[in-house]
Amino acid sequence: MKRTFNYVVMIFVFTAMWIILNEKAGPMQIISGIGFSVLSIFFVNYYLLDDDYIDSYFLNPVSLLKYLFYLVFQIYKSGISAIFKISKGESAVKIIKYDSCLNKELAVCLLANAITLTPGTVTIDKTKNQLSILCFQDDEVFSSGSGGKSCSDFEKILRGI
């Protein structure tokens, strides 16, 4: 039942993307959108990926929206602090090990993605739930949470995914 619901959500999202790209929401676009969505899911399931991905890689839309809003906020926050680093000329960098409190593979990957997107931090490596992060010497955002004692706000959001 949950699996069918996930497929329906995917078809709905793909059809919406098709309508946006066609710039028209007529019956022809909706029908062709649904048709192409079903066809692309069928193609991916049978030729590209294992059928189990739908359960492993499905994202909760509400948590995804929360994640995106928080991500944009963090991007601007880090972007402004990076301006000060540039003007001061603080170029010393370090690599830290960060133990995430997340267990799901997809959530850890999304966390790594978010870390790389925020200016001043780049994820270099990932081993299970441990991330190697390249950051500026005085950066304490992720080094303070190292050891997995407490979850960052990103991780709290990603737990819902």
Q: Is 140 in the site for another protein (CB under 8 A)?
A: no
Q: The tokens of 83 are what?
A: 């301006």
* Number of residues in contact with another protein under rule CB under 8 A: 37
Q: Is 79 in the site for another protein (CB under 8 A)?
A: yes
Q: Is 76 in the site for another protein (CB under 8 A)?
A: yes
Q: Is 125 in the site for another protein (CB under 8 A)?
A: yes
Q: Is 72 in the site for another protein (CB under 8 A)?
A: yes
Write out the residues near another protein by the rule CB under 8 A: 17, 20-21, 23, 68, 71-72, 75-76, 78-79, 82-83, 85-87, 89, 91-95, 112-113, 116-125, 134-136
